[in-house]
Amino acid sequence: MNSDLILIAMSGGVDSSVATAILAQQGYKLAGITMSVWDGPGGADGKSKSSCCSIDDADDARRVAQKLGVPHYTMNVKSLFREKVIDYFTGEYMTGRTPNPCVLCNQVLKFDYLFEQGRKFGAVKVATGHYARIGTFNGRKLILRGVDRSKDQSYFLFSIPNSRLNNIIFPLGRFSKLETRALAIKHGLNVAQKPESQEVCFIPDNDYNEFIRTQTGGKDIGEGDIVDHNGAIIGHHKGYPFYTIGQRRGLGISAPEPKYVTRIEPEPNRIVVGNKSELYSKALLATSMTWHLPPEEIQKMDITARIRYRSEDSPAMVTPVGDDGATVEFEQPQLAITPGQAVVFYHGEYVLGGGWIEKRLD
């Protein structure tokens, strides 16, 4: 029996449930934490299919914990989630950027909050069901990609400081999703066949536009012009926060060849569109950087960079700029570099750092 207490995040899904089962089987002393973060428009009962960490999910987590003999607690973190995730999410769209709320949710809730609670519980370590690993590179602890590349979640974890990695456990990093479900069946967990959650769990029915309009009360969301790169008006948009760089569908314009959103301009309230070729760029500026190795060391390494979770890595060169920024130059042009998204750097399997995309550099 491992006597040190580990706090494990239990969302009620198959991943965190299997992570709990693995650690319990290994003899760790555990306490399961389910964070109640968001009621959603379905109401405070949390039973809307779109709600995040709903009552149903908390009940699933509790049943899994009970079966495994793990104490279980539900924490109300709705105000923190509102402040750090929802307000950030809507605020970014209102400034013409496209946010990635999953990175902040992981940093602020799944780790900052869990470590804070861990001190109260007397827990030494925190565990989650992420598909990622932790290893050592040149004497430093770093996050590695999950073995299952189709489920790898290391991109979302780039902002976790190295100082915490000695006290984080990712039990699923060496498994595939199929293996995880098989383990859930083996352990007799009621969530074994539970479907995947939405990509952004708090968006009802994946309707971003309605969510933004509801959360902002429609403030400053009005129709405006769609223009080409010369400023000629070729259509009208329904509100600039409802668009993102690279978007093709839903523009409502007719042209000899497909048009894509190439720039969003909140101040004049207009959307700039162009041909697909205009979306490519070989460089970007990132800010609010997190470095897991000294920048001067990273500059000497062969690295790849990823500009969104679903994109492929591409060879790149990173150069620090000022106190908190960096330029990233790619060997090959990248499609739709989008302000507000994260750029994450890798050396093979290792996460070296990352930052938030400020703008493309032409």
Positions annotated as catalytic residues are: 105, 201
H-state helical runs in 187-286: 208-216
- HEC profile for 47-87? CCCCCECCHHHHHHHHHHHHHHCCCEEEEECHHHHHHHHHH
H-state helical runs in 206-315: 208-216, 295-298
| Inter-residue contact 295 to 251 (CB < 8 Å) | no
| Inter-residue contact 291 to 322 (CB < 8 Å) | no
Share in percent of the chain as helix, strand, coil (round to 5): 30, 30, 40
Residue 98: is it exposed, middle or buried by C-beta count within 10 angstroms (0-12/13-18/19+)?
buried
Distance CA 318, CA 325 (A): 10
**What residue type is 309 in one-letter code?**
Y
Candidates 201, 168, 200, 203; CA nearest to 36 is: 201
Candidates 359, 14, 8; CA nearest to 181 is: 14
The token duo for 93 is 């769209």
